[in-house]
């Protein structure tokens, strides 16, 4: 008899912080740390969000009713999108503690052990395109955050106007230069600095509200309803500006693995949400008194003596927000590599203690060039705001779809429960998406084009690897057939161990066949090593390596790694030795296949995609350096393969 579907309250949730005598202190420390990593993006939205609601391309006039209506929409957007959708529902969908759209995609594709794995092209497409959209966010967020902060100087005096872009570029250059050194040291001050930032936001808000307490009436949802009734279609388009207040919502879910759900929720409800709302209310009170302040209500809210310190504080907060997006791009690229959607790239671990502290030089350079070109091309935060939102609203819509799939197929939640909840979120997502869709011509095409390019690269790589594996498999022979042939014509055996890396745990590695064909010898011990990436973030150490002893001195070693881990040959061999496999590393040779790919008209991919895949393969990091194989022990055997 099957179990009844679980209720929403019984769905799996992220493990809480372990109980300990000092658990409260640890929880508080994690919550402060989350302020610096998780909430940098959404925490800098007050710099530009309310301004764009009134001065943007689809802004409304800063009248009394419009100000109260926009503030009401901002408040309820923060409550419904961040507090309810992400913190209450989406964060339950943890992939062994990890979050983010690729982790969610992997979770949606998992099956219970023993069940047939069904590849769902729609789920894969949604997940990959959602991940690709986050690269667009990774370009725009650093640019718009730092630009908005530096633009505060022009509030003090117009003479700074000509220096805004040069100063912004200088700050961004410094930010990208420090990436190679890691963020472990400066990361320790991110949390306390952002705590100061949020307290400053709250203080500024209170300062504005005391002069116009009636602004608190904006908390009523009726003001939002009246806003839509009065402004009709124009009011709906203003949602594109309102959406800017929740653009960091995806970060809450993506960074769940770093802190856990409980500290993130504590930071949100205890510090971030109250500080943001106080500041938005303070800006609104200023606009009710002085509608002309709509040109930059955040900085005009500050007293004259606090303007320059506020610019410095805002710039620091913007840098932290940018850092969070850069680190997020590193993390999602690492996941894509392990899941097989991106070529091998250089991954540098910048901390011996924190495995999540990584640096990818290639991605860092690409982001740096992209962000600088974005600043030079869009020139102001107002122009960037026109491009901002479309990518994030699309990614949020995809998250809703994938979360529904997980609820139905992984948790067996009934359609009667899952569908209404998902529909509510989908209506919100699609409303914001529709309001942002009109921005496409004004710059919204930029993140969409970037996402399309990244999506094409990822799908081409995955498809190309599948075709290549199929071609190699068709030219190979089963290992059992090779071993049977040794009975009639045994090869010459030489001392030592030969390790052949293979992606097919059943067939014979092409490099092994080439070695037998050309060298006509076989080592006394032959290790067939397969490195498999699982659709979970981490694989426990005791489950990571499996040793299967075959006949004729052959041993199959299968190493399993999660998509948040980088496999290392020395570590794999160490675990294999612990399982009883005997070999002398100095007497061991690694045989790797190096395929020269030739585009052809065979069934597979279009010629241009085959040429793109061949180019990506040539520029991928070598297996020797990526898997940390001792370079003086490697033998490469080449072959030409028609795609």
| Backbone phi, psi, residue 570, to 5° | -55, -40
Distance CA(255)–CA(273), nearest Å, equals: 18
Distance CA(175)–CA(325), nearest Å, equals: 12
Is-contact 443 378, C-beta < 8 A?
A: yes
Cβ neighbours of residue 317 closer than 8 Å, sequence gap 6 or more: 40, 43, 44, 145, 149, 193, 194, 197
Determine the pLDDT at residue 3: 37
Distance CA(636)–CA(634), nearest Å, equals: 6
Distance CA(373)–CA(387), nearest Å, equals: 14
Is residue 431 classed exposed, middle or buried when 0-12, 13-18 and 19+ CB atoms within 10 A define those classes?
A: middle
Distance CA(561)–CA(337), nearest Å, equals: 12
Distance CA(568)–CA(589), nearest Å, equals: 16
Count other C-beta atoms under 10 Å from residue 367's C-beta. 23
Is-contact 642 604, C-beta < 8 A?
A: no
Cβ neighbours of residue 532 closer than 8 Å, sequence gap 6 or more: 505, 558, 559, 560, 561
* Closest to 317 in 3D by CA, of 164, 198, 203: 198
Is-contact 76 354, C-beta < 8 A?
A: no
Query: Which whole-number Å values give the CA distances from 208 to 47, 113, 222, 313, 315, in the listed order?
Result: 15, 58, 23, 19, 22
* Closest to 531 in 3D by CA, of 494, 573, 496, 489: 573
Question: H-type helices in 438-498, by residue range?
Answer: 445-474, 479-485
Beta bridge partners of 555: 527, 549
Is-contact 124 105, C-beta < 8 A?
A: yes
Distance CA(575)–CA(579), nearest Å, equals: 6
Looking at the chain, how many residues does it have? 643
Q: Tell me the angle at which helices 361-378 and 121-150 cross, rounded to the nearest 10 degrees.
A: 60
Count other C-beta atoms under 10 Å from residue 178's C-beta. 13
CA 513 to chain centre: 40
Helix (H, G, I), strand (E, B) or coil at 128: helix
Count other C-beta atoms under 10 Å from residue 260's C-beta. 22
Distance CA(198)–CA(192), nearest Å, equals: 10
First-to-last alpha carbon distance for the chain, in angstroms, is 50
Is-contact 58 275, C-beta < 8 A?
A: no
Based on DSSP, count helices (H) and strands (E) in the chain, helices before strands.
Answer: 27, 8
Which stretches in the chain have pLDDT values below 70? 1-22, 110-120, 182-187, 350-357, 603, 638-640, 642-643
Determine the pLDDT at residue 416: 92
Distance CA(105)–CA(94), nearest Å, equals: 11
pLDDT digits (tens, 9 = 90+) for 227-282: 999 998 888 999 999 999 998 888 788 877 777 888 899 999 999 999 999 999 99
Neighbour-count burial for 592-614, b at 16+ CB within 10 Å, e otherwise:
bbebebebeeeebbeeebbbbbb
Determine the pLDDT at residue 117: 47
Angle at 71 between CA 65 and CA 72, to 5 degrees: 90
Dihedral of the alpha carbons of 109, 114, 116, 120, in degrees to the nearest 10 = 0
The pair of structure tokens assigned to 287 is 């606009």
Distance CA(79)–CA(394), nearest Å, equals: 19
Helix (H, G, I), strand (E, B) or coil at 191: helix
Cβ neighbours of residue 531 closer than 8 Å, sequence gap 6 or more: 501, 559, 561, 567, 572, 627
Q: Name the DSSP class of 541.
A: G
Half-sphere exposure in the Cβ direction for 311 (13 Å, CA)? 19
Q: Which helix (H) or strand (E) holds 402?
A: helix 390-409
**Maximum CA extent, the chain:** 96
Is-contact 392 432, C-beta < 8 A?
A: no
β-strands 554-561, 492-501 pairing: unpaired
Dihedral of the alpha carbons of 136, 182, 369, 153, in degrees to the nearest 10 = 80
β-strands 521-533, 554-561 pairing: parallel
Q: Which helix (H) or strand (E) holds 75?
A: helix 64-77
β-strands 634-642, 588-598 pairing: parallel
Query: Which whole-number Å values give the CA distances from 169 to 24, 136, 148, 165, 375, in the listed order?
Result: 41, 18, 13, 6, 8
Cβ neighbours of residue 443 closer than 8 Å, sequence gap 6 or more: 378, 383, 384, 386, 387
Instruction: Please report where in the chains the tokens 């009667």 appear, as a residue.
Output: 416
Helix (H, G, I), strand (E, B) or coil at 545: strand
Instruction: Please report where in the chains the tokens 């219970």 appear, as a residue.
Output: 112
């Amino acid at each position: 008899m099957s179990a009844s579907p679980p209720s929403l309250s019984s769905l799996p949730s992220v493990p809480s912080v372990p109980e300990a005598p000092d658990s409260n202190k640890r929880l508080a420390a994690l919550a402060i740390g989350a302020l610096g990593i998780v909430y940098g993006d959404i925490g800098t939205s007050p710099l530009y969000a309310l301004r764009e609601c009134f001065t943007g391309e689809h802004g409304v006039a800063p009248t009394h009713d419009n100000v109260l209506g926009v503030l009401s929409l901002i408040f309820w957007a923060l409550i419904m999108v961040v507090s309810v959708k992400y913190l209450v529902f989406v964060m339950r969908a943890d992939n062994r503690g990890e979050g983010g759209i690729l982790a969610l995609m992997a979770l949606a594709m998992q099956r219970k052990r023993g069940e047939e794995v069904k590849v769902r092209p729609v789920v894969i497409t949604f997940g990959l395109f959602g991940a690709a959209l986050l690269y667009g966010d990774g370009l725009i967020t650093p640019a718009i955050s730092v630009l908005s902060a530096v633009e505060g100087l022009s509030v003090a005096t117009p003479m700074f106007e000509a220096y805004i872009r040069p100063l912004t570029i200088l700050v961004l250059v410094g930010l990208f230069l420090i990436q190679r050194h890691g963020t472990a040291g400066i990361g320790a001050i991110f949390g306390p600095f952002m705590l100061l930032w949020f307290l400053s936001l709250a203080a500024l808000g209170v300062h504005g509200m005391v002069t116009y307490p009636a602004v608190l009436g904006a908390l009523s949802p009726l003001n939002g309803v009246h806003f839509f009734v009065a402004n009709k279609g124009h009011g709906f388009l203003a949602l594109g500006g309102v959406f800017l207040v929740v653009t960091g919502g995806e970060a809450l879910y993506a960074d769940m693995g770093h802190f856990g759900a409980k500290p993130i929720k504590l930071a949100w409800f205890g510090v971030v949400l109250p500080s943001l709302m106080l500041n938005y209310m303070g800006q609104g009170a200023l606009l009710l008194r002085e509608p002309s302040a709509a040109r930059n209500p955040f900085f005009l809210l500050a007293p004259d003596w606090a303007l320059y310190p506020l610019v410095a504080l805002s710039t620091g907060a913007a840098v932290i927000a940018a850092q969070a997006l850069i680190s997020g791009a590193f993390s999602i690229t690492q996941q894509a590599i392990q899941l097989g959607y991106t070529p091998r790239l250089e991954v540098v671990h910048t901390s011996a203690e924190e495995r999540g502290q990584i640096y990818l030089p290639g991605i860092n350079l690409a982001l740096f060039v992209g962000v600088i070109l974005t600043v030079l091309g869009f020139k102001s935060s107002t122009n960037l705001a026109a491009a901002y939102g479309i990518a994030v609203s699309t990614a949020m819509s995809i998250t809703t779809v994938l979360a529904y799939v997980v609820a139905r197929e992984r948790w067996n939640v009934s359609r009667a429960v899952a569908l209404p909840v998902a529909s509510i979120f989908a209506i919100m997502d699609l409303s914001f998406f529709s309001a942002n869709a009109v921005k496409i011509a004004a710059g919204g095409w930029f993140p969409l084009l970037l996402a399309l390019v990244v999506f094409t690269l990822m799908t081409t790589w995955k498809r190309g690897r599948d075709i290549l594996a199929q071609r190699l498999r068709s030219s190979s022979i089963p290992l059992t057939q090779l071993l049977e042939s040794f009975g009639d014509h045994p090869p010459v055996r030489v001392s030592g161990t030969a390790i052949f890396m293979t992606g097919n745990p059943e067939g014979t590695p092409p490099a092994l066949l080439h070695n037998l064909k050309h060298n006509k010898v076989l080592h006394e011990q032959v290790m067939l090593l397969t490195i498999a990436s699982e659709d979970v973030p981490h694989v426990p150490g005791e489950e990571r390596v499996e040793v299967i002893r075959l006949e004729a001195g052959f041993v199959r070693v299968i190493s399993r790694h999660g998509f948040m881990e980088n496999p290392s040959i020395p570590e794999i061999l160490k675990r294999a030795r612990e399982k009883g496999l005997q070999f002398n590393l100095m007497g061991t040779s690694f045989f790797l296949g190096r395929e020269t790919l030739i585009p052809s008209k065979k069934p597979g991919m279009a010629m241009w995609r085959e040429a793109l895949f061949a180019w990506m393969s040539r520029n991928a990091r070598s297996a020797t350096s990526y898997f940390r194989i001792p370079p003086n022990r490697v033998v490469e055997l080449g072959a030409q393969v028609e795609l």
